[in-house]
Structures are given as structure tokens and as C-alpha cells.
Amino acid sequence: MRIALDTNFLVCAEGINDPVRRDLARGIAPRLPAGETFVPVQVLGELFRVLTGKGGYDTATARATILNLRDIHFSLETTQQSLHAAMDLACDHQLSIWDAIIICVAADAGCRLLLSEDMHDGFVWRGLTIVNPFAAKRNPLLEAALS
């Protein structure tokens, strides 16, 4: 099962937010299916911004972190087609354009899940389901992917 990761999941895994979410993210990350986990380039850019801002990383350390993530997970490019679909999605569902781009590139890559704490948990679009990995009750699709 293909899975895409949102910025907030990676921020938590880096330990920038609270220790409970850090531990949850670090418990999930190594169990994600090898070769089936993706990170949109949009997410990598957002993560760099958070690491160098709130995270207090210097730019070289943030860069190394991003490159390491890119080496571990496949990255997903934003295309003209995905941007156009994202604008439609943002208009139709009142999403931010940045969230809509992440959703579109993940759906275009055939991802079944998008792990995100701050998007609409349970929202389904073109076969992609947004799942809050920190929810009290784990989504059955995520549970299946981790087993």
C-alpha cells in the first residue's frame, strides 16, 4: 500500500513538537512499507522552513535532514497537471492550495493513505484517504499498512 507523508508527521518525527507525538511518529515511521512511502516535494520545502524556524536547525543541518528523507522515501514532484487539479480541489472543498497540492500529487502517485494530523481526517479523494496517525483510535487502513 502506497503512503504519503505530510509535513506535520515529519515535524513530529524530528521531535520538534511534543514528546508524545514524537514517540508516536517514530514508532510508525520504521513500520511504513519499504519502497511504498512517498514525500511530496511541497512537504520537503515546508519541512525545511519549519526546521530552520521553529526547530532552530541551521540551514546545513536542515538540508542534510531533507536530503536524508529524500533518500529514504520517494519524492513526488508537483506538475502542471497536479497544480491545476489542486486548484479545482481547493475551490471545491475549501482547502488551502498547499494542502491540495500535497493531496493531488499523492493521489497521482497512487497513494492510498496520506498521513496528516492537520488535514481533514477521513477525507477521501480519488482513492486517497487522509488519516491522522495520532488519532486515539488508529484507522484500519493505517493499521493494515503497519502490519
pTM over 0.75: yes
pLDDT, residue 147, reads 87
What pLDDT digit, counting tens, does each position of 91-135 carry? 999 999 999 999 999 999 999 999 999 899 999 999 999 999 999
What pLDDT digit, counting tens, does each position of 116-127 carry? 998 999 999 999
Q: Average pLDDT, whole number, for the chain?
A: 95
Alpha carbons 34 and 81: distance in angstroms, whole number: 27
* Assigned fold of 3-146: Rossmann fold (3.40.50)
pLDDT, residue 17, reads 81
Give the DSSP per-residue string, 48-85: HHHHHTTT---HHHHHHHHHHHHHHSEEE---HHHHHH
